[in-house]
Amino acid sequence: MYGVHRGTFYGRWTPYTCQGNDGPTAAVRSAREETGDIATQIEAAAQPRLPLSKERILGTAVALADEGGIDAVSMRKIAQALGVVPMALYKHVRNKDELLDGMVDAIVGEIDPPAVGIDWKTTIRQRILSARQVLLRHPWASRVIEARTRARPDPTPAVMDYMESMVGILRAGGFSIDLTHHALHAMGSRLLGFSQELFEDSPSADPMPDAPPPQEMAARYPNITELVTAITHEQGSVVGPGCDDQFEFEFALDLLLDGLERLRTST
Amino acid sequence: MYGVHRGTFYGRWTPYTCQGNDGPTAAVRSAREETGDIATQIEAAAQPRLPLSKERILGTAVALADEGGIDAVSMRKIAQALGVVPMALYKHVRNKDELLDGMVDAIVGEIDPPAVGIDWKTTIRQRILSARQVLLRHPWASRVIEARTRARPDPTPAVMDYMESMVGILRAGGFSIDLTHHALHAMGSRLLGFSQELFEDSPSADPMPDAPPPQEMAARYPNITELVTAITHEQGSVVGPGCDDQFEFEFALDLLLDGLERLRTST
DNA sequence: ACCTGAACACCGTTCAAGT
DNA sequence: ACCTGAACACCGTTCAAGT
């Protein structure tokens, strides 16, 4: 089960994990201000009164990623934003992998705690949708989580807490151990609020200069063209917004939850 | 719908896409031999009789990724394996992004074509399981597909062919356009054979040196511990193989397919 | 006209020199 | 003992020099 049964899930426990669930952490908030504009950066460089800490480093890293994507996060750039020499970071973070781990944990810590006294399905549903909102605020995070997962099997501490809570909800809701196990696998990455779409739905500004003409597309891809045409017309505008991602996410989520509920009551 | 309704899906059409479905492509096979051992590499460097081509470059890149992961793929290393100066690659590939696109298309081209004359569910099921086998042979591919998806919305040509075929199967199976649309979203990345597991199940050789003692784990994560214990005992050995990934994948896939079948017949 | 070596602007991390 | 600048081994890509 997720590789945790071989003792490989004993993640290192680090203090920065214990953070509230009231939105962005203090470290992230202060770092946003720090990297918010160039004047502040220069000031920070001139007067590094605050002592460096793992929390400040992680906050700056998250802010950089939120603003410029994960490629904007490098040891050198974090150091620059903090007005510090790159090597200074290595006193608080072993290497870049540990930095990414810390960033993931800070994000996962933002997910709302589970509701209490409600049926399992509503509780799980709300929590997953909360996780989705958090990851929509930090679009880089799901890719970091996924890359980290492949590199090292032991989940980070905050992810462990999250999973523990999810398993508890299912067990309390009457799921057998086996069905709980299968349920976790079935929901997969949706547990953390992201479903990997094969194609991005973002509004691409560039209209694809070397695109084949529509007739050729319709001939080559008749079924896709039909689908695209129907959805475009349904929304009443040719350049309207794309799919309702929220609806599609909930559609798939409910398909799974309803199926699990059926299996739960059938045994 | 996957962003394709805004005309952004007119992927560039390149000749290397048109490949059979009989396993690894010729380019990949020959490149495997080329990079197979050092002697061959040196020989290739000494006698570059074969002219450089996009196919040879892609084949070498795929072989390098299969052997050493995606980090082993760099313009410089590909050139070295081909006995060529790095800049020579840029005559056949615009940049590294285009190279990755080509690698993805070569892999997707390996997926079995759909069976004919069978019900929609079996056909879709078989095809997705075939895609899964392909991606298990090339563990780097799903991550590249996902990263590419976020960077640019238009799918690569081979992916477009695959999607067109999938949509056709659903439509022929009696799905309405709307339900076809939702079905594609619901299956998400499973369509291409990978479900993003939150935790990797690979046998990690290192036993986590700084792991907390089991009692502490059991106290902190009682539900997870119960799950892990049950699954370990179920398999009868403490260090036995992990979860049955194939089973879990099919469990989730069937949950979705059964749910879709119910929706299909209910309208 | 073509090919390619050097160079540019990065990166994470090591290591020894300076305080 | 601590901090840090230079250096190392990479990377993708530009560009001008050489043929």
C-alpha–C-alpha distance, residues B187 and B255, integer Å: 10
Say which residues have a Cβ less than 8 Å from residue B234's Cβ, sequence separation at least 6: none
For residue B51, the distance in angstroms to the closest alpha carbon of chain A comes to: 28
Asked, for residue A227, whether it belongs to a domain, the answer is yes
Cβ count within 10 A of residue A252: 22
C-alpha–C-alpha distance, residues A109 and A84, integer Å: 27
Q: What's the gap between Cα A145 and its chain centre?
A: 7
What is the model's pLDDT at position B153? 72
Q: In Å, what is the separation between the CA of B243 and the C1' of D10?
A: 38
Closest alpha carbon to B70 in B135, B158, B143: B143
Same domain, A171 and A247: yes
Model confidence band, residue B39 (pLDDT cutoffs 50, 70, 90): very low
C-alpha–C-alpha distance, residues A130 and B175, integer Å: 31
CATH number of the domain residue B59 falls in: 1.10.10.60
Q: Which nucleotides of D are covered by protein (CB under 7 A)?
A: 3-6, 10-15
What is the model's pLDDT at position A4? 32
What is the model's pLDDT at position B37? 42
Q: Where among B94, B125, B146 does a domain terminate?
A: B94
Contact residues, B window 1-60, toward A, CB-based 8 Å cutoff: 1-10, 12-13
- The fraction of chain B above a pLDDT of 90, given in percent, is 47
Same domain, B124 and B88: no
Same domain, B136 and B176: yes
Task: Search chain A and give the residue with CA nearest B196.
Answer: A189
Please indicate whether, in this complex, the C-beta atoms of A7 and B145 are within 8 angstroms of each other. no
Cβ proximity of A198 and B159 under 8 Å: yes
pLDDT in tens, B60-88: 999 999 999 999 999 999 999 999 999 99
Give chain A positions within 8 Å (CB) of B146.
Answer: 143, 146, 196
Give chain B positions within 8 Å (CB) of A139.
Answer: 150
What is the model's pLDDT at position B195? 81
Closest alpha carbon to A12 in A80, A137, A105: A105
Give chain B positions within 8 Å (CB) of A194.
Answer: 196
Q: What is the DSSP string of B38-70?
A: HHHHHHHHH---SPP-HHHHHHHHHHHHHHH-G
C-alpha–C-alpha distance, residues B172 and A153, integer Å: 42
C-alpha–C-alpha distance, residues A107 and B21, integer Å: 42
What CA dihedral angle connects B170, B176, B177 and B179, to 10 degrees?
A: -80
Q: Does B236 touch chain A (CB under 8 A)?
A: no
pLDDT, chain A, mean: 77
Q: What angle do CA A184, A200, B150 make, to 5 degrees?
A: 85
Compare B46 and B177 and report the one with higher pLDDT: B177
Q: Where among B94, B124, B157 does a domain terminate?
A: B94
| Nearest-CB residue to A149 (from B192, B200, B223) | B200
Range B246-258 average pLDDT: 90
pLDDT tens track, chain A, 267 positions: 333 332 222 222 222 223 334 445 555 555 554 444 433 443 444 444 567 899 999 999 999 999 999 999 999 999 999 999 999 999 999 999 999 999 999 999 999 999 999 999 999 999 999 999 999 999 999 989 988 877 777 788 899 899 999 999 999 999 998 888 899 989 988 999 888 776 655 444 444 445 566 788 888 888 888 887 887 776 655 455 567 888 888 999 999 999 999 999 886
pLDDT in tens, A122-159: 999 999 999 999 999 999 999 899 888 777 777 888 99
Integer CA distances (angstroms), A216 to A219, A222, B267, in order: 5, 10, 33
CB under 7 Å from strand D: A 84-85, 87-88, 90-91; B 73-77, 86-87, 90, 95-97
Lowest pLDDT segment from A103-112, B72-81, B90-99, B187-196: B187-196
Q: Where among B94, B123, B151 does a domain terminate?
A: B94
Same domain, A154 and A233: yes
Closest alpha carbon to A125 in A92, A170, A89, A156: A170
State the total domains in chain B. Answer: 2
Range B112-118 average pLDDT: 95
Same domain, A59 and A181: no
Compare B213 and B154 and report the one with higher pLDDT: B154
Range B250-267 average pLDDT: 90
Task: Search chain A and give the residue with CA nearest B227.
Answer: A177
pLDDT, chain B, mean: 77
Helix axes B120-137, B96-108, angle to 10 degrees: 130
What is the model's pLDDT at position A30? 52
Integer CA distances (angstroms), A184 to A148, A191, A238, A260, B204, in order: 19, 8, 39, 11, 21
C-alpha–C-alpha distance, residues A3 and A112, integer Å: 26
Same domain, A163 and A237: yes
Same domain, B189 and B63: no
Asked, for residue A139, whether it belongs to a domain, the answer is yes
pTM of the model: 0.79
Same domain, A89 and A119: no
Asked, for residue A22, whether it belongs to a domain, the answer is no
Same domain, A85 and A191: no
Range B85-112 average pLDDT: 95
Compare B8 and B164 and report the one with higher pLDDT: B164
Give chain A positions within 8 Å (CB) of B242.
Answer: 1, 3, 5-6
Same domain, A161 and A259: yes
Helix axes A177-187, B245-266, angle to 10 degrees: 80
Say which residues have a Cβ less than 8 Å from residue B107's Cβ, sequence separation at least 6: B62, B134, B135, B138, B141
What is the model's pLDDT at position B140? 93
Same domain, A148 and A241: yes
Asked, for residue B58, whether it belongs to a domain, the answer is yes
Same domain, A169 and A226: yes
pLDDT in tens, B215-230: 888 888 888 888 878 8
Q: Which domain holds residue B67?
A: 54-94
Asked, for residue B232, whether it belongs to a domain, the answer is yes
Asked, for residue A38, whether it belongs to a domain, the answer is no
Asked, for residue A179, whether it belongs to a domain, the answer is yes
Q: In Å, what is the separation between the CA of B82 and the C1' of C4?
A: 16
C-alpha–C-alpha distance, residues B31 and B44, integer Å: 11
Range B201-224 average pLDDT: 64
Cβ proximity of B102 and B89 under 8 Å: no
Please indicate whether, in this complex, the C-beta atoms of A232 and B5 are within 8 angstroms of each other. yes
Asked, for residue B154, whether it belongs to a domain, the answer is yes
- What is the enclosing helix (H) or strand (E) of B133? helix B120-137
With CA of B73 and C1' of each nucleotide, the nearest comes out as D11
Range B7-34 average pLDDT: 39
CATH number of the domain residue B146 falls in: 1.10.357
